[in-house]
């Protein structure tokens, strides 16, 4: 899928559905918050949330006192929804409208968080482009938390085919320079109470 097609798809999703009308909606991103604590992120850690959509992770982190947050998504409508919901607290977040496969990181980050963005990249060139940005953006010693559908998770989401992973397959796809330090299965319940099987894998960035 081209960058223009991806953007058109996700703008369509976020302009026609409320944030709690999409399957990935979470009132509280509990596991993401748990893993951010697990890797030892501090209030001054530089954290970027990739493909965040209108996720409430930024709300939670701002409320907890995190000072250097960046949210990236391809959909301007998704980011607008999140900013509107957060009100004045949105000014504490850096918002970036970009396709992660074409984005040029402006700085290095201590923590890269991605809940359900990478698995939409099914073509090898898109996956390689994502991983190249991850390598450039994440400092050595930093951590990447990447959640995808598990091997027994959905084969499609939002009308799109996805790639499913276990921790071993995801580590192999990322390649050298990323040490797998934790993996967890997770059952997500959609707003209509369907169950989706996820895996959350946490990596430590090593020097190339």
pLDDT mean over 99-119: 97
User: How many Å separate Cα 95 from the centre of its chain?
Assistant: 14
Residues sharing a CB contact under 8 Å with residue 183, sequence separation 6 or more, in sequence order = 166, 167, 199, 200, 201, 202
Give the pLDDT confidence of 110-160 residue by residue, as tens digits.
999 999 999 999 999 999 999 999 999 999 999 999 999 999 999 999 999
Q: How far apart are CA 55 and CA 26, in angstroms?
A: 7
Domain that residue 75 falls in: 3-205
* Contact (CB, 8 A) for 22 and 13: yes
* Contact (CB, 8 A) for 197 and 152: yes
Q: How many domains does the chain have?
A: 1
Per-residue pLDDT at 1 exceeds 80:
no
The H or E element that residue 12 is part of is: helix 3-16
Residue 4 pLDDT: 78
Q: How far apart are CA 57 and CA 75, in angstroms?
A: 17
Q: How close are the terminal C-alpha atoms of the chain, in Å?
A: 30
CATH number where 21 lies: 3.40.50.150
Residue 25 pLDDT: 84
Q: How far apart are CA 101 and CA 134, in angstroms?
A: 10
Q: Which two tokens stand for residue 31?
A: 């596991």
Q: pLDDT averaged over the chain? A: 95
The H or E element that residue 156 is part of is: strand 156-157
Per-residue pLDDT at 20 exceeds 90:
no
The pTM of the full predicted model, rounded to 2 decimals, is 0.95
The H or E element that residue 10 is part of is: helix 3-16
CA dihedral 106, 6, 85, 42 (to 10 degrees): -40
Residues sharing a CB contact under 8 Å with residue 10, sequence separation 6 or more, in sequence order = 53, 73, 74, 75, 77, 78
Rg of the Cα trace of the chain?
16
Q: Which two tokens stand for residue 10?
A: 């996700």
* Contact (CB, 8 A) for 139 and 204: no
Residues in the chain: 208
Give the pLDDT confidence of 24-59 residue by residue, as tens digits.
889 899 999 999 999 999 999 999 999 999 999 999
pLDDT mean over 157-183: 97
Q: How far apart are CA 164 and CA 159, in angstroms?
A: 15
pLDDT mean over 72-99: 96
């Amino acid at each position: 899928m081209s960058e223009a097609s991806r953007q058109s798809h996700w703008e369509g999703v976020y302009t026609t559905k409320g944030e709690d009308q999409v399957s990935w909606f979470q009132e509280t991103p509990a596991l993401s918050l748990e893993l951010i604590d697990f890797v030892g992120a501090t209030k001054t850690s530089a954290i970027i949330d990739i493909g965040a959509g209108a996720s409430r992770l930024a709300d939670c982190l701002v409320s907890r006192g995190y000072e250097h947050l960046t949210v990236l998504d391809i959909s301007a409508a998704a980011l607008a929804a999140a900013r509107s919901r957060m009100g004045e607290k949105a000014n504490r977040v850096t918002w970036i409208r970009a396709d992660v496969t074409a984005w040029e990181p402006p700085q290095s980050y201590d923590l890269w968080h991605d809940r359900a963005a990478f698995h939409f990249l099914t073509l090898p060139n898109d996956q390689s482009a994502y991983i190249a940005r991850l390598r450039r953006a994440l400092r050595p010693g930093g951590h990447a938390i990447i959640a995808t559908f598990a091997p027994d998770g959905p084969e499609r989401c939002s009308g799109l085919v996805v790639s499913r992973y276990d921790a071993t397959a995801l580590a192999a796809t990322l390649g050298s320079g990323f040490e797998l330090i934790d993996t967890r299965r997770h059952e997500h319940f959609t707003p209509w109470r369907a169950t989706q099987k996820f895996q959350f894998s946490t990596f430590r960035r090593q020097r190339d």
